[in-house]
Amino acid sequence: MHDLILRNGLIVDGTGAPRTRGDVAIDGGIITAVGEVSGPARRTIDAEGAVVTPGFVDIHTHYDGQVSWDSVLAPSSINGVTSAAMGNCGVGFAPAHVEKHSWLIQLLEGVEDIPGTALAEGLTWDWESFPDYLDALGKRSYTMDLGAHMPHAALRAYVMGDRGGDHTETPTDAEIERMARLTGEALVAGALGFSTSRTHAHRSRDGANIGTLTAGEPELLAIAGALRQAGRGVIQLISDAYLTADDEFAQAELTLIRRIAETSGRRLSFTVQQSDDAPDRWKHIFAELDAMAADGLDVRAQVAPRAIGVLLSFASTSNPFMLTPTWKRIAAEASSVEARLVRLADPEVRAAILREHDGIRPGSGFAAVLTHGYMRMYQMSDPVDYEPDASQSLGAQAARAGQDAAAFAYDALMEEGGHRLIYMPLINYVRGNLDDVHGMMSGAHTLFGLSDGGAHCGTICDGSFPTTTIGLWAKGSKSGLKLPLEALVHGYTQRNAEHVGWRDRGVIAPGYLADLNIIDMDALELGPPRIVQDLPAGGTRLLQTARGYRNTIKSGVVTFENGAWTGETPGRLLRGETARSTAAAAMA
């Protein structure tokens, strides 16, 4: 008798092969038969009319703190993810001396917009070294499996002390040797790989650049050498190469990335998106990736399936009026979000904020777009429209109504009792459509990533990227561009899994881990994120759920039914790479 059988589903197996109709049998957490399965089962799930896919593998999350207090790990888990990699972009909480706990919290609060009060209350800190951190996670269970990178910023501070947080400081030869040795020890203990950040966008709560921003080649190559010596691990990084209009700087960063890949001999991935300042830089980067691949290097671009958009609200972190003195005073004085919203509804407060806001005119950059970019601001709909047209922007609506744009935006933010979310696409939307996103997703050397699940709690909610990838691009964009469902599923399952070395999952075939989604494609859609207060210390975050997932199954255990958690936590820490057992592989 089988443990579980999924009957009559349309199987998209994760390899990119054409879909087939059939059953899936599961025993002991492993897929044991696919096709026409006979015999009884302890439980049978009818998958008629639904697509059956492997569980999604999200290689770019930031649950490093959340894993201390939360087993569910939403929003990733409620968007079909059954395996995730965290510790990306060089930030995390290990290794850590006791005196550096507050500093690391401030770093993550600034870089990843995770409330410092939540981290201060929720982090257990039952570790010091990175192997200690893995041991602590190994005692816990989750709705999905997790792997963790050794984060460069934490490592640098652990070895260099206060100097490690200053990117202008150069480590001594002895400090470089120690960073490399600790990285090797972390890899032996089960670190997934090593991550670092080279972007000015990553700053601590006090505005200081991340300490790894300009880390020198000797430091980076020594650590890369530790991966070669260990013969394991991957490298993940973010660089300003995709953001810059400076050809010389971009080429220098890409040359450094090549050197790291050559030195390590390991797989490497880095962030590639489209910015206003360099809208076609991604094409230059993709040409360089072609050249690296031709030279035998496995270097990939991590790309996103939609625009990266900041969510503006009076009830969360950011809004166009947050630089005004009156807003700042109310935000500091209000005892709760609801108390803040009551004061913002006062006509006199509204008038004062609008008057002050009129005098705030940043010349350029993010501050200018945030405060006066009304043509890029859109009220979120249900289901969410991630391809909004400029004619529906707050600026265009205000112009048609003959109203002041700032006043119109203020009133829009006060809708839904002050909880209205405004979507402002900043990255990957230069031309007002997703055509360039389609180009990036179609690249020969790409990985689907950048969801940042667990981070940007009050400004961005992109843990739903897997749902957008499958739901939007299988049906097609407003420009008529689309991608085959089989290719989309492959990108978020087998391809991602193999990149990080998880070779026991991502495929629906005998011998593979029974991580599965049963999806009603006709019903698959995303509602707008909600502002919830479920973090430690009453911290708020944005949480987005999806419709259309009938079941998510992790290691043969049903973890979600119609979007609701079943209470099961079969997920565990993954130490490094994984392979199918000899017995399981023999089933294939």
Task: Give tens-digit pLDDT for 227-246.
Answer: 999 999 999 999 999 999 99
Average pLDDT along the chain: 96
- Rounded average pLDDT over 36-57: 97
pLDDT digits 0-9 by tens, 124-151: 999 999 999 999 999 999 999 999 999 9
pLDDT of residue 504: 98
Same domain, yes or no: 422 and 317: yes
pLDDT of residue 580: 82
In a domain, 407, yes or no: yes
Same domain, yes or no: 423 and 314: yes
What confidence tier does 560 reach under pLDDT thresholds 50, 70, 90? very high
In a domain, 27, yes or no: yes
pLDDT of residue 13: 98
Token reading at 78: 């409620």
- Rounded average pLDDT over 205-210: 94
Does pLDDT of 285 surpass 60?
yes
Does pLDDT of 211 surpass 90?
yes
In a domain, 534, yes or no: yes
Q: What is the DSSP string of 113-157?
A: ---HHHHHHH-----SSHHHHHHHHHT--BSSEEEEEEEHHHHHH
Domain count along the chain: 2
Same domain, yes or no: 414 and 516: no
What confidence tier does 375 reach under pLDDT thresholds 50, 70, 90? very high
pLDDT of residue 523: 98
- Rounded average pLDDT over 303-309: 97
* Cβ–Cβ under 8 Å, residues 554 and 571: yes
pLDDT digits 0-9 by tens, 501-522: 999 999 999 999 999 999 999 9
Q: Give the residue from 412, 427, 442 where a domain finishes.
A: 427
In a domain, 335, yes or no: yes
CATH code where residue 534 lies: 2.30.40.10
In a domain, 411, yes or no: yes
Q: What percent of the chain has pLDDT over 70?
A: 99
pLDDT of residue 423: 97
Q: Amino acid identity of 263?
A: T
In a domain, 389, yes or no: yes
What whole-number distance in Å separates Cα of residue 558 and Cα of residue 458?
A: 30
In a domain, 232, yes or no: no
Does pLDDT of 81 surpass 90?
yes
Please name the residue that has the structure tokens 């008038």: 351
- Rounded average pLDDT over 175-184: 98
What confidence tier does 458 reach under pLDDT thresholds 50, 70, 90? confident
Measured CA to CA in angstroms, residue 466 lies from 303, 384, 388 at distances of 12, 15, 20
Same domain, yes or no: 408 and 516: no
Structural domain of residue 8, as residue ranges?
2-55+509-539+547-587
In a domain, 561, yes or no: yes
Same domain, yes or no: 420 and 528: no
Q: Give the residue from 427, 445, 477 where a domain finishes.
A: 427
Does pLDDT of 583 surpass 80?
no
Q: Give the residue from 410, 427, 444 where a domain finishes.
A: 427
pLDDT of residue 218: 98
Same domain, yes or no: 323 and 419: yes
pLDDT of residue 364: 79
pLDDT of residue 316: 87
pLDDT digits 0-9 by tens, 410-443: 999 999 999 999 999 999 999 999 999 999 999 9
Q: Which residues of 456-469 are buried (b: 16+ CB within 10 A; e: fewer)?
A: bbbbbbbbbbbbbb
- Rounded average pLDDT over 30-37: 97
Same domain, yes or no: 420 and 514: no
